[in-house]
Amino acid sequence: MKKGKNNIDTGKLLKDFISKNKINKSALGKEIHRDAVSILKYTQNSSIQTGILIELCHALQHNFFQDIANQLPTTFTVKEPKKDEIEALKETIKVLQIQNDLLMKLKA
């Protein structure tokens, strides 16, 4: 595979995580329905398909996509949450604060 000049080595990300956390490759392979050799190959390749990376994220409970995003320039754009969602969350926080205050008064 031809590597771009801006490639982020996802295999190294995975290899470092497995090594740091002492993950058993055979057990990980079973978790995502692949053999240990496949896991070894993922760590040796500089690029991993996103579908496989998502499976690995779920199996390891780790967000490799965030690790990748952290290596991108901060000047890159990101999708902002919708204003409606933010307003709905603010409203939910207000309701929860009122409920919490009421429960604290009842408890006292």
Cα-to-chain-centroid distance, residue 42: 17
Distance CA 35, CA 29 (A): 5
What percent of the chain is helix, strand and coil (3-state, nearest 5)? 65, 0, 35
pLDDT digits (tens, 9 = 90+) for 65-104: 999 999 999 999 888 777 788 889 999 999 999 999 999 8
Token output for 45? 């390749």
Four-residue CA torsion sign, 3, 5, 8, 9: positive
pLDDT digits (tens, 9 = 90+) for 39-62: 999 999 999 999 999 999 999 999
Architecture of the domain spanning 1-76: Orthogonal Bundle (1.10)
Segments making up each domain of the chain, as ranges: 1-76, 78-108
Nearest to 32 by CA among 10, 57, 4, 63: 57
Tell whether the model's pLDDT for residue 1 goes beyond 60. no
